[in-house]
Amino acid sequence: MKFIVDQQVEDIEMPENLKLNTFLQEFHSDCPHKECGFGFYGFAFGQSPFPVPQIIQDTLIKNVHKGEYAAVSGIPELRNAISKYNKHYFGIDVIPNRIYVGPGTKELIFNLLEILHGTVILPTPAWLGYLPQIRFLKKNYHMLPTRANKKISPADLRKLALRLQDRQKILILNNPHNPTGLLYDKLELEEIADVCREQNITVISDEIYAQTCYDFSKFVSMGKIYPEGTFVTNGLSKSHAAGGYRLGYVIFPQHAIELKDQFKKILATEYTAVSTPIQHAAVAGFEISSEIDEYFEVTRNIHQIMGEYTYHELSAIEGVKATKPDATFYLLADFNAYSPELQKAKISTSQKLSEALIVHPYHTAIVGGDSLVLERTDFSARIAFVDYNGAAVYKNYLENKPKTSSERTQFVKDNAPKIVLGIKMIEQFFEDLKKNNLHELNAKKSSMITS
Ligand SMILES: Cc1ncc(COP(=O)(O)O)c(C=O)c1O
């Protein structure tokens, strides 16, 4: 039997994160050097390393018997809890019936793109998840490359919007931002909102990293600045380290009454409702409690310590520039200063750079520029600083909170040796490249990994 795949699917590329997974598995398992059995230095995966908060796990266990379908928009207890959560943490007044629960924000963003007419404006660099969805839905789209500060320029946004003929445009705003780790402040959001009002731009504000802001008091939701035109998405995946639970939510703009019915229709058609036990467990994650509050504080402090270290160490490598993260567990490293040497070594694209870094002896996994919706020849990469044992590090942090700058550095050395060694490997790679020595050093270097 030969199956014929629908042309619409044939035309879609495998999302970059899945390609990356396969690529890393193939590469690291091949290394013949015994001392490399540790795998690789993992700067590629965007997953919180911490355990799911105990209170969520316990609530899930208590609700496992709930086999009935849930309401399409989410169980009332959860929509209530999300409403209160938004008031408490983000200062947004949102009645529960403006909230829809879905199987992850990725799906909800897809659903929003399905119901909203218009040309999509995608600022770059961007999270690797948006573009395949936009392409799948065959929507018109335009990139909006950011400038040196890596943030949306309101003037550029206006210029682009003026060129677009569509009655409605959709801006995908990701704040805090994957891959740069940067946070937009209130003024920056207000300037973007002014352009959006003027140019009839609807905003999908992906705020999945909101709780990871190192200084949480600095976070401002676009839902507060531009409530009439913003769809805010958020969920359990990053803040509660529960990506595998597949639970996200979207807050609809005020007065979007007729849209809500259209949206419900799409959700009911595509997945009926999110798993009922998971929704009950999520209530415990969104309810205000000292346990969850402490979890947010500890995890964001650890992300900050790892982020500061990674930023300083990478910036100290000659020719390397990095964004200084305000949130998330990523930063964007710019290796373009090495472009001539990379070209000379026949490393002509960012994908090739990722490949050159994963082979022996470097064994360092990064996400290259084209996966971040940058030019293929842009040697920028996302560096995720989460390659450590989250449960152990959480405990160690509580037992002995590092205070001074040297204690914080020591904390990284003691708790995240793979981050420390991985950055050394990146440094070594560029040193070898400079010396035109990439290949020759391969054999010698293996001993360094274990030391
Ligand atoms: C910017 C951004 N948005 C959305 C998601 C997906 O979130 P969810 O697990 O809720 O689908 C991710 C996950 O990596 C992300 O980085």
Residues 6+ apart with CB under 8 A from 174: 123, 126, 127, 205, 206
| Dist. CA 303–CA 438, nearest whole Å | 32
169, two tokens:
């445009």
Q: For residue 208, how far is its CA from the centre of ligand 1 (angstroms)?
A: 6
- Please give the distance, rounded to the nearest whole angstrom, from the Cα atom of residue 106 to the centre of ligand 1: 6
The binding-site residues of ligand 1, defined as CB within 6 angstroms of any ligand atom, are 46, 104-106, 127, 129, 174, 178, 206, 208, 235, 237, 243, 248
Mutate which of 16, 82, 105 for ligand 1 pocket (most atoms within 8 A of beta carbon): 105
Q: From ligand 1's centre to the CA of 251, what distance in Å?
A: 16
- Which CA distances in Å does 383 have to 62, 160, 179, 425? 38, 30, 8, 13
Helix segments in 316-404, DSSP class H: 339-344, 350-358, 390-399
**Within 13 A of 63's CA, how many CA atoms are on the CB side?**
18
- Tens-place pLDDT, residues 239-287: 999 999 999 999 999 888 789 889 999 999 999 999 999 999 999 999 9
By DSSP bridging, strand 321-322 and strand 230-235 are unpaired
Bridge-based pairing of strands 248-251 and 230-235 is antiparallel
Atom 6 of ligand 1: nearest residue by CA position: 106
Strand 367-368 and strand 99-102: pairing?
Answer: unpaired
Judge contact between 82 and 284, C-beta under 8 A. no
Q: Which atom of ligand 1 is nearest to the CA of 108?
A: 11
- Per DSSP bridges, beta strands 364-365 and 201-206 are unpaired
CA of 429 from ligand 1 middle (Å) equals: 31
Angle between the 405-415 and 417-434 helix axes, to the nearest 10 degrees? 90
Residue 30's pLDDT is: 65
Cα(404)–Cα(399) distance, rounded to whole angstroms? 16
Tell me the best of 208, 222, 245, 271 to mutate to test the pocket of ligand 1, counting ligand atoms within 8 Å of each CB and taking the most.
208
> What is residue 15's predicted lDDT score, i.e. its pLDDT?
64
Residue 186 gets the label, from left (phi > 0), alpha (psi -120 to 50) or beta, of: alpha
Residue 444 near residue 33, CB atoms below 8 Å: no
Sign of CA dihedral 132, 135, 136, 137: positive
Report the alpha-carbon distance of residue 86 to residue 221 in Å, rounded.
Answer: 10
Cα 142 to ligand 1 centroid, rounded to whole Å: 21
Structure tokens at 26: 């193939």
Distance (angstroms) between ligand 1 centre and the Cα of 406 equals: 33
The rounded Å distance from CA 68 to ligand 1 centre is 27
Q: Give the nearest ligand 1 atom to 247 CA.
A: 10
Give nearest CA residue, ligand 1 atom 13: 46
Nearest to 277 by CA among 68, 64, 80: 64
Q: What is the Å distance from ligand 1's center to 108 Cα? A: 10
- For residue 141, what are its two tokens? 């789209």
- Predicted confidence at residue 31, as pLDDT, reads 76
Q: What is the largest CA-CA distance in the chain?
A: 66
pLDDT of residue 146: 97
Helix (H, G, I), strand (E, B) or coil at 394: helix
**What domains appear along the chain, each with residue ranges and CATH number?**
14-43+292-450 (3.90.1150.10), 56-288 (3.40.640.10)
Confirm if 239 and 67 have CB atoms less than 8 A apart: no
The position carrying tokens 């995890």 is 299
What are the mean pLDDT values of the chain's consecutive 10-residue runs (451 residues total)?
A: 83 68 67 80 92 98 98 97 98 95 98 96 96 93 96 98 94 98 98 97 98 98 97 98 98 89 94 97 98 98 98 97 98 97 94 89 88 93 97 97 97 97 96 79 38 25
Measured distance between the N- and C-terminal CA atoms of the chain, rounded to whole angstroms: 55
Atom of ligand 1 nearest to the CA of 243: 9
